[in-house]
Chain A
Amino acid sequence: MSLNLRELSQRTQGLAPGHRACAGCGFPPVVRLLLAVAERPVVVVNATGCMEVVTTIYPYSAWPVPYLHNAFENAAATASGVEAAIKALRRRGQLDTDFKVVAIGGDGGTYDIGLQSLSGALERGHDLLYICYNNEAYMNTGIQRSSATPQGARTTTSPVGTAQRGKPQPRKDLTEIVVAHGIPYAAQASVSHWADLGRKLQKALRISGPTFVNVLTPCPPGWDYPPEKTVEVARLAVESRYWPLYEVEGGRYRITYVPREPVPVRAFLEVQGRFRHLLQDEAAVADLQRWVDANWERLRARKAKDH
């Protein structure tokens, strides 16, 4: 399936202009792409977080589709309820439209406080797509660490001091936790690779049952880089194999983009401020590189086992 950007841009109202997302924010392109590739009407359930805060300030809303926000940790459970209601209402002839339910949460609402609710919804097998827009920290509350924050990154709750230099722990591999639920489709994507992201969203929307897409959406204030560099920063995450693009369909792994000449992770670290303190520490950079390489090899091995 091929996607034409010009065509897609005409197929969607997207998010209304005037929302309060920061310049260069990573998630608006994800929403625009989602609404462009959706072939049937979608209803969006959103966890508390940047996206909810900047798009729904009463009495305004940037959403051209039905939108529901409940709380921080329960987007997946709330979406389960919406999906069940759609089924029941349609069965009794009280609803004609066949909506697809899409839940969206940030890494805080997904990796951390929302993990139980996500796991429950995946296990129960609801027909819904869950998108995690992952900017690797709790951004709208002032850049605190999450379990998606990478090792060494500076946040306001994993600061750089004399006794500790950034976050001590590596990030949680949420995509693999999701895959372990045995759902029909799970993927990792990045805003830098829009066609790959669009295809994954489209596929996830078409498959019935729970599907999951984890999208890397860099954050200019949180990661400390100029707003115009979001796509470049995201691309370096992929080209350095820091954020591999892959999908798992029916248990089968496929790496959807293999960097021809992978760049060292240092190139990704250098374009942002949250790792600035690490750049003089060769050992720490080498540690991160080893972690990236090991992750990549593990992913390749999983893929190899399939064939």
Chain B
Amino acid sequence: MKTVATRRVALTGNEAVALAWKQIRPHVVAAYPITPATQIVERFSQYVADGEVDTEFIPVESEHSALSACVGAAAAGARVLTATASQGLALMHEILYVASGLRLPIVMNVGTRALSAPINIHGDHSDVMGSRDAGWVQMFARTVQEAYDRTILAVRVAERARLPVMVCLDGFTLTHSLEPVEVYPDEAVQAFLGEGPRDGSSLLGEEPITVGPLALPDSYMEFRRALAEAHARALRILEEETEAFHVHFGRDLPALLEPFGMEDAEESVVILGAYADVVEEAVRRWRERGRRLGMVRLVVFRPFPAEELRRVLARTSEVVVLERADTLSGLGGPLAVEVRAALYDLAERPRLTDAIFGLGGRELRDAELDAFLEAGPRGRVVYLGLKEAGDVPEPA
């Protein structure tokens, strides 16, 4: 195991991502500022202005154009990065499908945030969940360190899987938190990533090719099926590249999911993103009181690691999903719907409770979480931390 010399610095999530971008040395960055991801682009444009990186930076006039320019640059064989959040991700929605359909290895950082209306600039997962079916790999960071590591890792995953990848940071909770980060030397990052994805078969290769043709009913389904197969392969690629990252940098990241206390757990909490820290503390507290509680933090939401999740949850009788988005279907949030679907094939299914929390940046307090865990699972959908606490409210 090689361990590169690291340097310990205090960085916010956004600063750590911008530093990763500089070290990745992309050919092209196209971006439009949006809270809470703005500082990624601000910091990176300072690197460009200072001549610290020779990237073509395109300060576009909208998020739609940001991703459109990324598609153009990636099709031309360039290594391409962008960042966005919330309404910006929603504005990119159409082109998210083009990027994955054309199998372009674009890497995007998302500072996850609520969607309007009412307008709210604070964190939840509504924006990225709205993109869950767009064909992008979606990774969620738990810490600033992970946001930094996963941004670098994502480039290798995207280029090998030939899929676009989102690296999500909980808006404000990670984007604006200052944490100590072990930073690798530029050369180590560049050695890990190599020259870039350009090869002779790109748009500007030896033979002129047509990219983005019209597919009629005689061929469209095969393209979509091929994309689904690419996603199925991406789970293995994620595992292999995470191991390669470990070997190269000496940092052992969880590839698909991260269990805590699951060895003997009878009850488990499933969570995505930065609030895993809060939940892990609660799990510790409850275990000290003798309750056999565990936690599974999902690292990837797309592709969904159903098999791995089934394996780790199979022994528990109660599953509590804690999540920061809703499907408004009455069936709970997107994470619970997927976890429930993954568990359906088990002979003995655990009972599942979905607790939706933290919408629009509302903090999840230890006391609220404890009270919820104390009351025991209910096998239904609840909103945690509502001012009038309770179950799904009846329509007025």
- Known contacts A74-B95, A81-B73; is A58 also within 8 Å of B216 by CB? yes
The reply on A124 being an interface residue by CB < 8 A is: yes
Taken together as a complex, chains A and B put the C-alpha atoms of A91 and B210 apart, in Å, by 25
The reply on A294 being an interface residue by CB < 8 A is: no
The reply on B121 being an interface residue by CB < 8 A is: no
Q: Which residues of B contact A260 (CB under 8 A)?
A: none
Q: Which of B28, B70, B71, B204 has the most CB of A within 10 A?
A: B204
The reply on A78 being an interface residue by CB < 8 A is: yes
Taken together as a complex, chains A and B put the C-alpha atoms of A94 and B28 apart, in Å, by 14
Contact of A81 among B54, B72, B219 (CB under 8 A): B72
- B272 to chain A minimum Cβ distance, whole angstroms, is 30
- Known contacts A56-B214, A57-B213, A57-B214; is A82 also within 8 Å of B98 by CB? no
Contact of A123 among B61, B62, B73, B98 (CB under 8 A): B61
The reply on A272 being an interface residue by CB < 8 A is: no
Over the window 75-89 of chain A, the binary record of Cβ atoms lying under 8 Å from chain B Cβ atoms (1 yes, 0 no) is 001111111111111
B204:A67 contact, CB within 8 angstroms: no
The reply on B193 being an interface residue by CB < 8 A is: no
A74:B65 contact, CB within 8 angstroms: yes
Over the window 208-234 of chain B, the binary record of Cβ atoms lying under 8 Å from chain A Cβ atoms (1 yes, 0 no) is 111111111001000000000000000
Name which residue of chain B comes closest to A68, CB basis.
B211
- B112 to chain A minimum Cβ distance, whole angstroms, is 24
Over the window 196-210 of chain B, the binary record of Cβ atoms lying under 8 Å from chain A Cβ atoms (1 yes, 0 no) is 101000011000111
Q: Which residues of A contact B59 (CB under 8 A)?
A: 124
The reply on A97 being an interface residue by CB < 8 A is: yes
- A102 to chain B minimum Cβ distance, whole angstroms, is 13
- Known contacts A71-B94, A89-B198, A92-B27; is A79 also within 8 Å of B72 by CB? yes
A43:B203 contact, CB within 8 angstroms: yes
The reply on A144 being an interface residue by CB < 8 A is: no
Taken together as a complex, chains A and B put the C-alpha atoms of A43 and B209 apart, in Å, by 10
Tell me the residues in window 66-103 of chain B with beta carbons closer than 8 Å to chain A beta carbons.
66, 68-78, 80, 94-95, 98
- A245 to chain B minimum Cβ distance, whole angstroms, is 30
Q: Which residues of B contact A83 (CB under 8 A)?
A: 72
- A171 to chain B minimum Cβ distance, whole angstroms, is 24
Q: Which residues of A contact B75 (CB under 8 A)?
A: 68, 81-82
Q: Which residues of A contact B213 (CB under 8 A)?
A: 56-59, 61, 69
A69:B54 contact, CB within 8 angstroms: no
Name which residue of chain A comes closest to B65, CB basis.
A77
Taken together as a complex, chains A and B put the C-alpha atoms of A45 and B56 apart, in Å, by 19
B98:A43 contact, CB within 8 angstroms: no
The reply on B174 being an interface residue by CB < 8 A is: no
- A200 to chain B minimum Cβ distance, whole angstroms, is 24
The reply on B143 being an interface residue by CB < 8 A is: no
B76:A81 contact, CB within 8 angstroms: yes
A77:B69 contact, CB within 8 angstroms: yes
The reply on A258 being an interface residue by CB < 8 A is: no
- A161 to chain B minimum Cβ distance, whole angstroms, is 34
Tell me the residues in window 155-172 of chain A with beta carbons closer than 8 Å to chain B beta carbons.
none
- Known contacts A61-B210, A81-B58, A82-B75; is A88 also within 8 Å of B28 by CB? yes
B72:A68 contact, CB within 8 angstroms: yes
Name which residue of chain A comes closest to B205, CB basis.
A66
Name which residue of chain B comes closest to A87, CB basis.
B56
Q: Which of A67, A77, A82, A86 has the most CB of B within 10 A?
A: A77
Name which residue of chain A comes closest to B220, CB basis.
A58
Q: Which of A91, A120, A123 has the most CB of B within 10 A?
A: A120
Name which residue of chain A comes closest to B198, CB basis.
A94
Contact of A84 among B58, B95, B215 (CB under 8 A): B58
Q: Which residues of A contact B209 (CB under 8 A)?
A: 66-67
Taking residues whose C-beta sits less than 8 angstroms from the other chain, chain A's interface range is 35 or more
Contact of A58 among B196, B198, B214 (CB under 8 A): B214
Contact of A124 among B58, B71, B195, B215 (CB under 8 A): B58
The reply on A116 being an interface residue by CB < 8 A is: yes
Over the window 349-372 of chain B, the binary record of Cβ atoms lying under 8 Å from chain A Cβ atoms (1 yes, 0 no) is 000000000000000000000000
Taken together as a complex, chains A and B put the C-alpha atoms of A7 and B59 apart, in Å, by 42
Taken together as a complex, chains A and B put the C-alpha atoms of A59 and B55 apart, in Å, by 35
B72:A85 contact, CB within 8 angstroms: yes
Name which residue of chain A comes closest to B26, CB basis.
A88
Q: Which of B69, B94, B195 has the most CB of A within 10 A?
A: B69
Tell me the residues in window 111-131 of chain A with beta carbons closer than 8 Å to chain B beta carbons.
116-117, 119-120, 123-124
Q: Which residues of A contact B219 (CB under 8 A)?
A: 58-59
Name which residue of chain B comes closest to A117, CB basis.
B65
Name which residue of chain B comes closest to A20, CB basis.
B214
The reply on A296 being an interface residue by CB < 8 A is: no
Q: Which of B60, B98, B203, B214 has the most CB of A within 10 A?
A: B214
Taken together as a complex, chains A and B put the C-alpha atoms of A43 and B211 apart, in Å, by 11
Taken together as a complex, chains A and B put the C-alpha atoms of A70 and B66 apart, in Å, by 13
Contact of B196 among A78, A82, A91, A94 (CB under 8 A): A94
- B134 to chain A minimum Cβ distance, whole angstroms, is 14
B30:A88 contact, CB within 8 angstroms: no
Taken together as a complex, chains A and B put the C-alpha atoms of A81 and B212 apart, in Å, by 15
The reply on B64 being an interface residue by CB < 8 A is: yes
B62:A82 contact, CB within 8 angstroms: no
Contact of B210 among A63, A78, A97, A124 (CB under 8 A): A63
Contact of A120 among B27, B61, B208, B212 (CB under 8 A): B61
The reply on A52 being an interface residue by CB < 8 A is: yes
Q: Can you list 7 A-B contacts (CB < 8 A)?
A: A45-B72, A67-B209, A67-B210, A69-B211, A81-B78, A82-B203, A89-B204
Interface residues of A (CB under 8 A from B): 43, 45, 52-53, 56-59, 61, 63-71, 73-74, 77-89, 91-92, 94-95, 97, 99, 116-117, 119-120, 123-124
Interface residues of B (CB under 8 A from A): 27-28, 30, 54-56, 58-62, 64-66, 68-78, 80, 94-95, 98, 195-196, 198, 203-204, 208-216, 219
Q: Which 10 A-B pairs have the closest CB atoms?
A: A81-B72, A120-B61, A81-B69, A77-B65, A69-B212, A74-B68, A88-B27, A85-B76, A85-B78, A61-B210
